[in-house]
Structure 1
Amino acid sequence: MAGTANGSHVWFDPIGLHVPVGTTIRWTNRDAGNAHTATAYERRIPVGSPGWDSDYLLPGETFAVRLTEPGVYDYFCRPHELAGMAGRIVVGAGRSLPYDDAALPAAVLGLLPSVEEIVARARVALPNAAVGLAHH
């Protein structure tokens, strides 16, 4: 989780991640100017998997969740969802599921990498992360 000093840009880095079943994912708020959440889109995770909500993480705070079911997990930051602060984790083989994209803000849909890209690359960063705007 990170952002620019004035809060005009916020993001997760990586925005896409491919991991084995049973991996523990840890989010750290590295944005000195904003609180963030890591919150599962409950209808965009594997059926039967528990959702999660980190609650607000202040700068330097962390939150972790263990992903035990194969599939695609989409998540977002509650206060910054409309700014496109979302991410996707593919666990195991990770096939695309018939998620309803109509419920997502356009900013999120425009940024989430495809399942195929995540599986092929293992880790997908936003293009601006290459110029020093990355976070974890």
Structure 2
Amino acid sequence: MKALGAGAALGALGWSTLGAGGGDTGGTSTVTDLDEHTGTVHDVQTLISGPPSNPDRPADFFYEPTGLHVAPGDVVRWTFTTPDHNVVGIHPAFGMRRRVPLGVDAFSSPLMGFRPDTIPGDMVEPPAPPAEEGGSDGNETTGTVTGTMTETTGTGTTGTETGTTMTGTTDGGDGGAMPAGPVPDTWLLSLQTPGVYDIICSPHEGFGMAMRIVVGDETTAPFETSDPEALPEPRAGPVGLSRVTLTDPALQPETVVERGTVSWSDLESVGGEDEGDDDGDDEGDGTEAGTGTTGTEAGGTTY
């Protein structure tokens, strides 16, 4: 397993960070970009939408897509379109019963949001959500909302800028160009070991922010169940509404492999139909199996 991206300070044996920095430290090696990566890069966004699909949460906090099938060695790139999220594999190192393949080390991104270098030093209030800053086409103020997130194959992709580089710029006052607004940060993870990986956002786990990645065609997982009551009690098991998300029929490993991507709006727990809309997956949700491109609005306002 390789963790790739700016700010990914991961020292577990067998990982490799990809981003700024240099040197080898205890089984990790830092490089500067993804030029040497020849596999597919799959994009996931961290999103918030309202009104909530469940009265037990103030809004829907979710990864989009929520289910993802990748090949061994592929990279998953999370873009923190809304801030205050992270990416945490459910692992005994974090006090939880393992929900990643045996032999896979613990992994977690930092708590992430906008790139610090795009936040002015005199900013007091947090940036407005992308949907409120103008430009529903993703090419104006933020440059990173739907329309810029595309599958990447091959070379020319940096671990810190692809999918998040601003389209517009403003004069920084000293003649130099600077981003036109806060830019969502990214975190990338390469997954080599086949199997089922369950992931949570620790700040919003109780609200159901969890996702499943199936690597390769290995769909057997000793922890798999469609009954939330069969899960271990928290903290060994998932907390709150993540118990519902991870046991949703739409996230069964076989279904994830068959469909390639599963949108948040496809989950039965948020009003979707289990495998019943295969002919209608392209109703404007921006998600196509195998592409990793996102932008689904799960009803109401999506940020």
TM-score (normalised: structure 1): 0.86
Q: Post-superposition shift, 1:62?
A: 0.8
Bigger drift between 45-54 and 66-75 goes to 45-54
Match of 2:245 among 97, 108, 111: 111
Question: Secondary structure of 1:95's partner?
Answer: coil
Q: Tell me, in whole angstroms, the C-alpha distance in 1 between the residues paired with 2:109 and 2:242.
A: 19
Report what 2:48 is aligned to. 3
Q: Post-superposition shift, 1:107?
A: 1.2
Q: Does 1:56 align with 2:111?
A: yes
Report what 2:259 is aligned to. 121
Instruction: Write the deviation string for residues 63-96 of structure 1: whole angstroms up to 9, x where unpaired.
Output: 1111010000110001000000000000001222
Structure with the bigger percentage of strand: 1
Match of 2:88 among 32, 35, 39: 39
Determine what percentage of the aligned residue pairs are the same residue.
30
The residue identity in structure 1 corresponding to 2:257 is: V
Question: What does 1:75-94 correspond to in 2, within 5 Å?
Answer: 75-94=199-218
Runs (4+) of structure 1 moved beyond 4 Å? 128-131
Q: Tell me, in whole angstroms, the C-alpha distance in 1 between the residues paired with 2:221 and 2:192.
A: 17
Q: Tell me, in whole angstroms, the C-alpha distance in 1 between the residues paired with 2:110 and 2:101.
A: 21
Q: Tell me, in whole angstroms, the C-alpha distance in 2 between the residues paired with 1:94 and 1:14.
A: 20
Q: Tell me, in whole angstroms, the C-alpha distance in 2 between the residues paired with 1:15 and 1:96.
A: 19
Report what 1:21 is aligned to. 72
Question: Secondary structure of 2:254's partner?
Answer: helix
Match of 2:222 among 95, 98, 115: 98
Q: Post-superposition shift, 1:106?
A: 4.6
Instruction: Write the deviation string for residues 74-130 of structure 1: whole angstroms up to 9, x where unpaired.
Output: 100010000000000000012221117221235123223110110110100011694
When the two chains are superposed, the root-mean-square deviation of aligned CA atoms in Å is 2.4
TM-score (normalised: structure 2): 0.41
Q: Answer whether contact 2:47 2:63 (CA < 8 A) is retained.
A: yes
Between 1 and 2, higher relative CO (CA 8 Å, sep ≥ 6) is seen in: 1
The residue identity in structure 1 corresponding to 2:48 is: G
Q: Tell me, in whole angstroms, the C-alpha distance in 2 between the residues paired with 1:98 and 1:50.
A: 17
Distance change (3 Å), C-alpha of 1:89 and 1:53:
same
Structure with the bigger percentage of helix: 1
Question: Secondary structure of 1:4's partner?
Answer: strand
Give 5+ residue unaligned stretches, structure 1.
none
Q: Tell me, in whole angstroms, the C-alpha distance in 2 between the residues paired with 1:38 and 1:65.
A: 10
Q: Answer whether contact 1:3 1:133 (CA < 8 A) is retained.
A: no
